[in-house]
Every structure is written in C-alpha cells, then in structure tokens.
C-alpha cells in the first residue's frame, strides 16, 4: 500500500483496495481455473461437489461466487453510508474528516463505480463537494 497523505487520498485508497482485494482474494478464480474451492479440510465437500461439474458449470459457479463477494462488500458499504448519512457517524484520517461519497451515491456507489472503471474526480472537484 502506498503512503497516502490526505484524508481524500486515504479514502480513495481504501475504496480502491476493496475493489482490488475482492478480485485477488476469494475462491471464484480457483473454482473456474482449477476446480478447487479451497484446500481447507472443512471445504473438501465443496471440492467434491465442484469436481462433478463441467468446465462451463464451474465458470458459472465462479461468476456466482464473485457476484456474491461483490454484493457483500457493496452491502456493507451501503450500511456504513446509512450510518454516516443518518446517524452522524464519520470517518477521519489524522483527526481530519474524511470525504466520502465522491460519486454522489454513497461509499457503495464509489465502490461500484471504481469496480466498473469510473475515474475519481479531480482533487479540486472533490474539495468542492
């Protein structure tokens, strides 16, 4: 992780990290590529099930797992957005308020936007919000 210097850059780094880590970690790629959910002993039953699937079925299952992972992050950020908007909760960095909701759609909107290739507004646009 880089060393962000401002509350804005920290917020952007957090959201971007959520976007990248939902792709890097998780089982969806393993299911599609190698037919394995996990090597954890408790997951042997999942691996046995996956072994019965065709390659096309594994790809579909992989897509479903990724969709669930993306949705879980979205839902958590939507809940946090509601706390920020309705319950006077805030995020800070080094004692300074962290700007959130740069898309106008909440933290979850920023997450979805970045996941789909949306560019962060310029620094001056963000400060005007």
Residues whose CB falls within 8 Å of the CB of residue 103, separated by 6 or more in sequence, listed in order: 109, 110, 113, 118
For residues 83 and 13, what is the distance between their CA atoms, to the nearest angstrom? 21
- 36 neighbors 91 (Cβ within 8 angstroms): no
Q: Is the pLDDT of residue 63 over 60?
A: yes
pTM > 0.85:
no
10 Å CB burial of residue 24 (0-12, 13-18, 19+) is: exposed
Parse the chain into domains and list their residue ranges: 7-128
Lowest mean pLDDT among 41-45, 52-56, 121-125: 121-125
């Amino acid at each position: 992780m880089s060393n962000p210097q401002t509350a804005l850059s920290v917020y952007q780094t957090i959201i971007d990290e959520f976007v990248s880590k939902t792709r890097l970690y998780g089982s969806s790629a393993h299911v599609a590529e190698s037919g394995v959910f996990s090597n954890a002993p408790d997951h042997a039953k999942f691996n046995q099930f996956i072994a019965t699937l065709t390659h096309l079925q594994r790809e579909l299952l992989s897509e479903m797992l990724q969709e669930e992972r993306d949705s879980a992050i979205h839902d958590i950020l939507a809940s946090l957005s509601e706390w920020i908007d309705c319950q006077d909760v805030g995020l800070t960095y080094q004692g300074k308020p962290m700007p959130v909701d740069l898309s106008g759609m909440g933290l979850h909107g920023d997450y979805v936007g970045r996941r789909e290739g949306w560019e962060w507004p310029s620094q001056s646009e963000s400060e005007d919000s």
